[in-house]
Structure 1
Amino acid sequence: MKTPLYRLLLFFFCLALVSISSTVKAQTDYTVTGLVTDAQTGEPIPFASVALVGRRSGTLTDEKGRYTLKVKILSDSLAVSSMGYKALRQAIDPERTTQALDFKLAPAGNALQEVTVKAGENPAWRVLRQVRKNRSINDRKRLAAYEYDSYVKTDIALSHVTERMRKNPLIKRINEAMSKQDSIVDDEGHRLLPLLASESVSRYYFRTAPERKREDIRKTRIKGVAVDDAGLSSQLLGGTNLVSQNFYDNYIPILGKDFASPIGDNWRNWYEFFLADTTQIGDHICYEIQFDPKRQEDLAFIGKAWIDTTSFALCQIEARIGKGANLNYVRALTIEQELESTIDSLAGSTATAGWLPVSIKLSASLTGVGKQSLGLRAQVSLRNTNITVNRPRPVGFYEQPIEPSDTVATPNDAYWHAIYRTAAGSDSLGKEDLKTRQIIEKLRAVPAVKMAEAVGQVAVTGYYKLGGFDLGPYPYLFAVNSVEGLRTRIGFRTNEQFSRNWILRGYVAYGTLDKEFKYGGEIDYLFSRQHWTVAGVRIANDLERLGLTPELIGGNRIFYALSRFGRYRGGYQSYQKEAFFKTEPVKGILLTAMVGSRTFNPLFPFHFRQNPELGDLSPLQSDINDAYWSIEARLARKEKYLMDGNERITLGTKRAPVLTIRYTRGLKSLGSDFNYQRITLRAQQSLRLGALGRMTYLLSAGFTPDVMPAPMLFPHIGNPTPLLTTNTFNRMQFYEFVSDRFVAVHIQHRFEGLLFNRIPGIRKLNWRLIANVDALWGSLSKENQAVSSAKPLPNGTRPIFFGALDGNKPYVEVGYGIDNIFKLIRIQAIHRLDYLDDGPNGIPFNSFALKASATISF
């Protein structure tokens, strides 16, 4: 995916490969002292809570109401709270090393609701039962619609840059370009090297029935290393893309994992609770409930929740991920939310509705492989204002999910000063933010950083940007196989700098063994981004592999690139021409129409009977001409997109299925050797199973009623290589089976830490159990079997034999393995359960194989 965040993460991981040692600590200590008293009586308030706002540093007052707080770094304000008093905040100077600050707390006049505690019952349970009982009243999902303005501030920086790391050539050159005054430290005193600082203002819209979302990005300011696209960055970093957790849900998705909510339906199974205190949050008197996971290895939070004593609504929550949770590269992650009740716009000014978050803070600290690795700190602050609820707009208004303004990146200092006075509030830029932006400006001028940016861009996107053209992709640059020898390829595509409507793509390849040039080209015209309407023509003359075209393997480009290496079994020369038109008339439904032709000239021994009813007397033919038209419908409900210039990037559908159905009609009148019909179906989905983990499935099916040679039917995708590839049959040979009707299902289940986290010896390794089942039902009619011929070719070579499945006996593979070895490697055992006696040359198949793959995942 071509996004600034991915470029930034790649830049981080490249640096993290360097082994480093001891951490550099800042030497500055800050001290804040003061007295906390009753505003009416002047009496000292003992044991009041004193804490830095936005930090996890705090203390308590002593018996005389005095406090002393010593920290490595300050925030911009200090908050004091105590039972029976209104909480109070005061600004402090983060630059002063010593300062005194006194607080006078006003008594809270609200009367607490009576709490009845049963003998032997945790008093927090009664509050949590009321939270779930009143969910239908307080949860934002009860609202017919809502909209609000959002101000988002995002900061990303390298952390834990140690003395040994500073000897790295890249870091050394950066340090040489930076002055000693260019220094920022985090809460723990680690020096930071800023990489990105952004601000974004948007208007967010949500409608419940039917569920629709839209976000208008109004203004963005971005300073960053490896970031050069404000339009895309504003979509990725603005609004609710990064911070949209709803704790009323049973599970909170974070980094691809599902964390149990402390106020979800199963709160008693996941957490231990302690009713600690009552305090005032804004205008609400709240119960303070502390929560901890029952089992430290579970995907659960540690933190506090503040529940309104009258409505039992969630007013505020601070939740952080425990150290025992099985997450890669995450040292710490904290979510803080403040929520407020809304006024029903339809029922009048006094009627209250559901609660919406008005302030969200997310902070994360990531690290590379190994305890001494370089770190990355990310902080996101979001503030929502001008909230309107229960005024749904017409469905058509939401059709464009994210709409950047034409002036989204145009400088306008007056606009931002107005935002700081209104929407941003306490999250406005401070002294540290301004210093961060100054450091980034200096970093971008360092030649070594510019080189790292260029390398990172190529590694992540696969392309090197050169003005209006992108050169690549690099996975296809080289290949070595038995047909072409050394294959070299160079390709390009145009970007929005070339044209916002015309899109050109092309490549040229050459093989040193076959001494043949191959080529491909495409011209598209983008009519509408809102309804994603595109028309185009393409042509390609290249070497392909039976059953491994991009269409058949579902867009798995890496597998397609790797398939060009080694022994090139099933290779054929193909000359293809296509014209297409696609459009999305309704959000989530993409329609495609296509007309085209292609040739099949096999490089392996193959022929078929032109008149199968004549048996061995039939004339034989090897090459095939195919001409066709097709229509396709793709349904992807709730799919999210980002616009990257002329490319549309999908962010997935979360748990909704993606369905695709295609009908193809081949016609002799268009130049085809055959009249035929073909229909294919594809469905895939990821299912969240709570504590049991996550399951994904891919279901595909196809049917053609006509009589044709095997390459025109459905060659099933095998993978005899030692590399594990999902959504293929990993113990099946290439083109081992061909069907004219089939149903295939690939099921993969990730248990996460469900089992391994409970085994003491393995728990420390953070391994994860994974299992899969792959099954295929297919058959080949007698008429299609009769098309094949075993008659030797003119040179005496026996032709390739295509096997057929028994319609009453499915092909089945099962697998199980260990994921997350060294946070990268997956090893899986694969068992082939049937069709073991039909191997080549009569040799039975080996039913077992051990395969490996490497992935980066949290």
Structure 2
Amino acid sequence: MKRPLQRLFFLSVWTLLLITGGNGYGQTVYTVTGMVTDAQTGEPVPFASVALMGRRAGTLTDEKGRFALSTKNLSDSLAVSSLGYATLRRAIDRERITQAIDFRLVPAGNALQEVTVRAGENPAFRVLRQVRKNRLLNDRNRLSAYECDSYVKTEVALSHVSDKMRRNPLIRRINEAMSKHDSLVDDEGHRLMPMLASESVSRYYFRANPQRKREEIRKTRIKGVAVDDAGLSSQLLGGTGLVSQNFYDNYIPILGKDFASPIGDNWKNWYEFFLADTTQIGDRICYEIQFDPKRPEDLAFTGKAWIDTTSFALCQIEAHIGTGANLNYVRRLVIEQELEPTIDSSSTSGATTGWLPTSLRLTADLTGVGKQSLGMRAKVILHNSNVIVNRPRPVGFYDQPVELNDTVATANEGYWHTVQQSLAGADSLDRDDRKARQLIDSLRQVPVVRTAEAIGQIAVTGFYKLGGFDIGPYPYLFAYNTVEGLRTRLGFRTNDQLSRTWVLRGYLAYGTLDKQFKYGAEIDYIISRRHWTMLGVRMSSDLERLGLTPELIGGNRMFYALSRFGRYRGAYHSVQKEVFFRTEPIKGIMITTTLGSRSFDPIFPFHYRIHPEMEDQSPLRSDIFDAYWSVEARLARKEKYIMDGNERITLGTKRAPVLTVRYTHGSKALRSDYNYDRITARAQQSFRVGPLGRMSYLLTAGFTPSTLPAPLLFPHIGNPTPLLTLNTFNRMQFYEFVSDRFVAIHVQHKFEGLLFNRLPGIRKLNWRLVANADALWGSMSSENRAVETFKPLPGGFKPTHFGSLNPGTPYLEVGYGIDNIFKIFRIQGIHRLTYLGTGRDGLPIDKFVIKGSASVSF
């Protein structure tokens, strides 16, 4: 999986859908009363704003400065603000049902820097221009290096459970098991069913040049449904990667989308601003600036930012995703950050430098399809301390981006008590957290929940975990095609419970029509996890399809699985054996060397000339034996990844392309039928194009100067099925064209809501415009064309003919469509612009087709 955070989310959702329920237990109402007065005169402060931090709960003082606030869920503190006074924040005892807290506000009489307001100009603009002007002094990106201790608390719970769901017989069993415990409610009064509660402590390291990151996860404690106590969960739920948004950047990536920053370069194009007041944050006087999206449907925030009046640095921000934003499955999302300047550790002067977040909160209310669907509440709280800046470690120190302490999941109450007193502070485990853990323990004892956990694991990961073995993947379990009939495949892999050094994989398949067994087996030995070095041996005997090898399709496993259905054109039997060695000597550069052989035994009408110089006098042959060695280099700058047992999962790269170059040499010395050389290259990237949306591309190229039969050249990947598949040619037939040199590019652009958000009546549908362009330049030398023969096969069958491209005329496709229909479906029209004659079957080629696909994304 390339997106393990989404994998964890959808695993939890799948489990919840199977066990969805709630309870109707009593709700506790908390009451906080008090009085607000002027610290100098003692006079009451009327109409002061009193609010729970991080909650949608607040009130105003009356004419006598008194207030009374009732809520079903407390936060850690209460804040009071009033025009002309510094904001004051006081801690709340979350264990007490009723309590009284008085506030004495100090007048904000500090001298501010002069702000010149131009006639007719919004006074907030002057402040925001200074924020961008001083960015190079305040942005954390100016630091050459920094490291800090991080405490992260994560909570996930079900919410918005309907009465209809509670009437389900299975849900009643859950309610009976949980009825012994008090319920939890969110700040809107919705009952919660906790599914995950975790705490993590780590040491985070960052180096700017070359950019490197490292995280040492020291301790975690996790309780959850469908969540392990360590390993992958510790890496996903710990550290700063979860909530590390930098608002100085122009766009903030959230849930796979890019939200415009209110203090980015394009702030004036996206937002309306209001300079509300000056207020005191800690010992700093700050401008309070409120911001709202100019267009509610845009991917933008609404909220407040507090800017230091002296340095014009961002001190604090509270950003909400608007309810009208074109975003799926999100009812509400709030990001809160508090930042502090750091002390330059490389200098003896004690000078301050870039600002780092010291406290971060992220709260999200997620939902399914429909207003009455199941909801989920997720909350992440992070605290950073013990910061050291501008002391970069040696580059080799960062080679292991994520490292787990040997005792990361070992229980140690004394350790956590120390953490609560230092790192965690007021956000340490409270009564609600302890209650959530008790409810989770009770929930996991219900048999239907344990069953749902197993089904959810299978649905999301494709494997069923059975001790040291993972059985699957289940997408490959069944297929039906014209060659094999009903194909059944059962596979497995070992995990780190069996061994952290040896990894075994295998499968066995059988077709009811061809009545043949197929198999595959692989043994890997992990030499080093630090440099991800391994040695492996694999062998397979299976039915394949011409042009759809894993190498050519670039690891698109779902397309590879779907290609086994239906009419199985270009089928051939292949026996493949390989020995490979893989290592990452330098972070971001992966080297793979392979020694192997493969056979090609077609079951479609095909033969070729063994001696093409003899033309029609040449003997003919159908099968091929290929023996080769290869060297591959993969460059992925800024790539992030985590370890899932013995599997390394990539989290992708940030803006940087991923480049792959492979050289292959076929050798008769290895008993190959041919000596040949081949080089292939691949580049892919996804990046933001300002307000126009997000673009991605895949660029591939290949060249062989050798004379070879068509199966050893480059059969281009067509897709005549009704399913839209990206990074293929959707109006090209399977192996319609073959080249010995080519360049292909696939470009896709997602406009998000750029157009549809501005069309009345349509913008409520949350549709998204998409477009694509695919081009292929290729050719085949006269020597390779001479290898092909048109002589009939025995029995009079016409041999399969492979087309070739004109070097001066590229193959072109363009497409456009609507994505996010009912939050799942995509419909796209594809035009074929060139090579519009007749196909191999003699029928006219369709110029236009409509295809569809389905996917789940935010």
Q: Partners of 1:14 and 1:849 in 2: how far apart? A: 38
Deviations 1:260-297 (A, max 9, x none): 11111111111111111111111111111100111111
Say if 1:24 and 1:163, in contact at 8 Å, map to a contact too.
Answer: no
Aligned to 1:630, what secondary structure does the other structure show?
strand
Amino acid at match of 1:308: D
How many aligned positions are there? 857
Matches for 1:260-339 after TM superposition, within 5 Å: 260-339=260-339
- Partner of 1:9 in structure 2? 10
**1:13 CA displacement:** 4.3
- Partner of 2:607 in structure 1? 607
Say if 2:181 and 2:439, in contact at 8 Å, map to a contact too.
Answer: no
- Partner of 2:372 in structure 1? 372
**1:8 CA displacement:** 4.6
Q: Partners of 2:35 and 2:841 in 1: how far apart? A: 90
Answer yes or no: is 1:395 the counterpart of 2:379.
no
Q: Partners of 2:683 and 2:228 in 1: how far apart? A: 36
Q: Partners of 2:780 and 2:671 in 1: how far apart? A: 26
Say if 1:258 and 1:690, in contact at 8 Å, map to a contact too.
Answer: no
**1:506 CA displacement:** 0.7
Amino acid at match of 2:407: T
- Partner of 2:847 in structure 1? 847
Answer yes or no: is 1:478 the counterpart of 2:478.
yes
Say if 1:184 and 1:193, in contact at 8 Å, map to a contact too.
Answer: yes
Q: Partners of 1:9 and 1:762 in 2: how far apart? A: 28
- Partner of 1:810 in structure 2? 810
Answer yes or no: is 1:89 the counterpart of 2:121.
no
- Partner of 1:658 in structure 2? 658
- Partner of 1:779 in structure 2? 779
Provide closer, same or farther for how the CA distance between residues 627 and 206 of structure 1 changes in structure 2, counting only shifts above 3 A: same
Provide closer, same or farther for how the CA distance between residues 172 and 440 of structure 1 changes in structure 2, counting only shifts above 3 A: same
Q: Partners of 1:131 and 1:114 in 2: how far apart? A: 15
Amino acid at match of 2:13: F
- Partner of 2:621 in structure 1? 621
Deviations 1:661-707 (A, max 9, x none): 00000011101111100000000000111210000000000000111
Deviations 1:473-501 (A, max 9, x none): 10111111111111111111111011100
Q: Partners of 1:520 and 1:783 in 2: how far apart? A: 36
**1:844 CA displacement:** 1.6
Provide closer, same or farther for how the CA distance between residues 8 and 275 of structure 1 changes in structure 2, counting only shifts above 3 A: closer
- Partner of 2:439 in structure 1? 439
**1:400 CA displacement:** 0.9
Deviations 1:182-236 (A, max 9, x none): 3000011000000000000001111111111111101001000001141211111
- Partner of 1:226 in structure 2? 226
Matches for 1:156-171 after TM superposition, within 5 Å: 156-171=156-171
Amino acid at match of 1:719: N
Say if 1:4 and 1:229, in contact at 8 Å, map to a contact too.
Answer: no
Say if 1:7 and 1:456, in contact at 8 Å, map to a contact too.
Answer: no
Aligned to 1:760, what secondary structure does the other structure show?
coil
Aligned to 1:348, what secondary structure does the other structure show?
coil
Say if 1:4 and 1:227, in contact at 8 Å, map to a contact too.
Answer: no
- Partner of 2:141 in structure 1? 141
Deviations 1:415-442 (A, max 9, x none): 1100111111111111111101111111
Say if 2:11 and 2:226, in contact at 8 Å, map to a contact too.
Answer: no
Say if 1:816 and 1:830, in contact at 8 Å, map to a contact too.
Answer: yes
Matches for 1:480-519 after TM superposition, within 5 Å: 480-519=480-519
Q: Partners of 1:441 and 1:528 in 2: how far apart? A: 37
Say if 2:221 and 2:229, in contact at 8 Å, map to a contact too.
Answer: no
- Partner of 1:690 in structure 2? 690
Deviations 1:712-735 (A, max 9, x none): 100000000001100000000011
Q: Partners of 2:416 and 2:71 in 1: how far apart? A: 32
Matches for 1:79-158 after TM superposition, within 5 Å: 79-94=79-94, 96-108=96-108, 110-158=110-158
Q: Partners of 1:96 and 1:221 in 2: how far apart? A: 26
Matches for 1:420-569 after TM superposition, within 5 Å: 420-569=420-569
Q: Partners of 2:39 and 2:73 in 1: how far apart? A: 29
Say if 1:17 and 1:369, in contact at 8 Å, map to a contact too.
Answer: no
Answer yes or no: is 1:790 the counterpart of 2:786.
no
Q: Partners of 2:18 and 2:748 in 1: how far apart? A: 30
**1:16 CA displacement:** 4.7
Amino acid at match of 2:722: P
TM-score where L is the length of structure 1: 0.98
Say if 2:767 and 2:818, in contact at 8 Å, map to a contact too.
Answer: yes
- Partner of 1:215 in structure 2? 215
**1:19 CA displacement:** 11
**1:347 CA displacement:** 2.1
Aligned to 1:616, what secondary structure does the other structure show?
helix
Answer yes or no: is 1:202 the counterpart of 2:202.
yes
Aligned to 2:551, what secondary structure does the other structure show?
coil
Q: Which runs of no fewer than 5 residues in structure 2 stay unpaired?
A: none
Deviations 1:432-475 (A, max 9, x none): 11101111111111111100000011111111111111111101
Aligned to 2:762, what secondary structure does the other structure show?
helix
Say if 1:23 and 1:190, in contact at 8 Å, map to a contact too.
Answer: no
- Partner of 1:701 in structure 2? 701
Percent identity between the aligned chains?
74
Amino acid at match of 1:437: R
- Partner of 2:343 in structure 1? 343
Provide closer, same or farther for how the CA distance between residues 176 and 641 of structure 1 changes in structure 2, counting only shifts above 3 A: same
Aligned to 1:174, what secondary structure does the other structure show?
helix
Aligned to 1:706, what secondary structure does the other structure show?
coil
Which stretch of structure 1 is more off in the superposition, 100-109 or 554-563? Answer: 100-109
Say if 1:576 and 1:597, in contact at 8 Å, map to a contact too.
Answer: yes
Amino acid at match of 2:785: Q
Provide closer, same or farther for how the CA distance between residues 577 and 462 of structure 1 changes in structure 2, counting only shifts above 3 A: same
- Partner of 1:646 in structure 2? 646
Matches for 1:55-94 after TM superposition, within 5 Å: 55-94=55-94
- Partner of 1:185 in structure 2? 185
Q: Partners of 1:17 and 1:368 in 2: how far apart? A: 14
Say if 2:659 and 2:682, in contact at 8 Å, map to a contact too.
Answer: yes
Amino acid at match of 1:555: G
**1:66 CA displacement:** 1.8
Q: Partners of 1:506 and 1:30 in 2: how far apart? A: 58
Which stretch of structure 1 is more off in the superposition, 631-640 or 238-247? Answer: 238-247
Q: Partners of 1:841 and 1:483 in 2: how far apart? A: 20
Aligned to 2:595, what secondary structure does the other structure show?
strand
**1:366 CA displacement:** 0.4
**1:120 CA displacement:** 1.2
Q: Partners of 1:164 and 1:135 in 2: how far apart? A: 53
Say if 2:801 and 2:840, in contact at 8 Å, map to a contact too.
Answer: no
Aligned to 1:226, what secondary structure does the other structure show?
coil
Say if 2:23 and 2:183, in contact at 8 Å, map to a contact too.
Answer: no
Which stretch of structure 1 is more off in the superposition, 539-548 or 112-121? Answer: 112-121
Q: Partners of 1:376 and 1:24 in 2: how far apart? A: 17
Say if 1:145 and 1:390, in contact at 8 Å, map to a contact too.
Answer: yes
Which stretch of structure 1 is more off in the superposition, 419-428 or 11-20? Answer: 11-20
Amino acid at match of 1:50: V
Aligned to 2:530, what secondary structure does the other structure show?
coil
Amino acid at match of 2:639: E
**1:803 CA displacement:** 0.5
Say if 2:23 and 2:179, in contact at 8 Å, map to a contact too.
Answer: no
What RMSD, in angstroms, separates the aligned Cα atoms of the two structures? Answer: 1.7
Runs of 4+ in 1 over 6 A off after TM superposition: 17-20, 22-26
**1:90 CA displacement:** 2.8
Provide closer, same or farther for how the CA distance between residues 110 and 402 of structure 1 changes in structure 2, counting only shifts above 3 A: same
- Partner of 1:733 in structure 2? 733
Aligned to 2:171, what secondary structure does the other structure show?
helix
**1:99 CA displacement:** 3.6
